[in-house]
Amino acid sequence: MSRAPARLAAAFTMLSAAAFGQCANAWAVNVSLPSLGLIYDSALWDADGPGPLAPRLVVGGPFQGAGPGVGGRVMLFDDTTGLWQSIGVWPTEQVGAVAAGAAGELFASGALTAPPYTGRVKQWNGVAWVQLGGAFDRPVMAAAILANGDLIVGGDFTTAGAVPVASVARWDGSAWQSMGNGLASYVDELLVMPNGDVVAGGLFGVARWDGVTWNQLGPSPGWCLALAVLPGGDLVAGLAHNQVVRWNSTTWTWLGGPVLPIPTAYIEALVVLPNGDLVAAEGTLIMGGTLPRLARWNGAAWTPIGTTDGAVRTMTVRPGPNFDVAVAGSFANVNGLATNHVARLTTPCPAAVTTIASGCVGGGVTLAAEPAWSGAVWQATASGLPQPAFVIGVYGFSPGATPLRSVIPQAVAGCTLHERADILQFLPNANGVARASWPMPNGTALAGAQFRHQMIAIQFGAGLAILSAVASDAASMTVGVF
Q: Which residues of the chain does CATH 2.130.10.10 include?
A: 20-346
pLDDT on residue 76:
94
Q: Which residues of the chain does CATH 2.60.40 include?
A: 4-10+351-478
CA dihedral 346, 350, 355, 359 (to 10 degrees): -130
pLDDT on residue 1:
41
- Compute φ and ψ for 444, nearest 5 degrees: -70, -15
Cβ proximity of 378 and 275 under 8 Å: no
Task: Tell me the pLDDT tens digit for each residue of 277-329.
Answer: 999 999 987 788 999 999 999 999 999 999 999 999 999 999 988 999 999 99
How many C-beta atoms surround the C-beta of residue 233 within 10 A? 11
Cβ proximity of 152 and 179 under 8 Å: yes
Cβ proximity of 22 and 444 under 8 Å: yes
Q: List CB contacts of 120: < 8 A, sequence separation 6 or more.
A: 93, 109, 110, 111, 131, 135, 136, 140
d(CA 211, CA 199): 11
What CATH number has the domain spanning 4-10+351-478?
2.60.40
pLDDT on residue 17:
39
- The CA angle 468-471-474, to the nearest 5 degrees, is 175
Q: List CB contacts of 133: < 8 A, sequence separation 6 or more.
A: 121, 160, 161, 171, 175, 176
d(CA 75, CA 59): 5
Cα dist from 75 to 39, 88, 132, 338, whole Å: 10, 9, 20, 20
Task: Tell me the pLDDT tens digit for each residue of 334-353.
Answer: 999 999 999 999 999 999 99
| Nearest in space to 303 (alpha carbons), one of 324, 273, 331 | 273
pLDDT on residue 115:
80
| Nearest in space to 371 (alpha carbons), one of 298, 274, 282, 457 | 274
Beta-strand (E) ranges in 309-389? 312-318, 324-329, 333-334, 337-338, 342-346, 352-357, 366-369, 377-383
d(CA 265, CA 275): 25
SS (H, E, C) 40-77: CEEEEECCCCCCCCCCEEEEECCCCCCCCCCCCCEEEE
How many C-beta atoms surround the C-beta of residue 51 within 10 A? 9
pLDDT on residue 117:
81
Taking the alpha carbons at both ends of the chain, their separation in whole angstroms is: 30
d(CA 133, CA 142): 17
pLDDT in tens, the chain (482 residues): 445 555 665 665 555 434 445 899 999 999 998 876 789 999 999 999 888 889 999 999 887 655 444 457 899 999 999 999 889 887 678 899 999 999 999 999 988 777 888 889 999 999 999 999 999 999 999 999 998 999 999 999 999 999 999 999 999 999 999 999 999 999 999 999 999 999 999 999 999 998 899 999 999 999 999 999 999 899 999 999 999 999 988 999 999 989 999 988 999 999 999 999 999 999 987 788 999 999 999 999 999 999 999 999 999 999 988 999 999 999 999 999 999 999 999 999 999 999 988 999 988 899 999 999 999 999 999 999 999 999 999 999 999 999 999 999 999 999 999 999 999 999 999 999 999 998 899 989 899 999 999 999 999 998 889 999 999 999 999 999 99
Cα dist from 403 to 358, 368, 407, 480, whole Å: 12, 22, 7, 31
The CATH architecture assigned to 20-346 reads: 7 Propeller (2.130)
Quote the distance between the C-alpha of residue 467 and its chain's center. 43
- Residue type (1 letter), 462: A
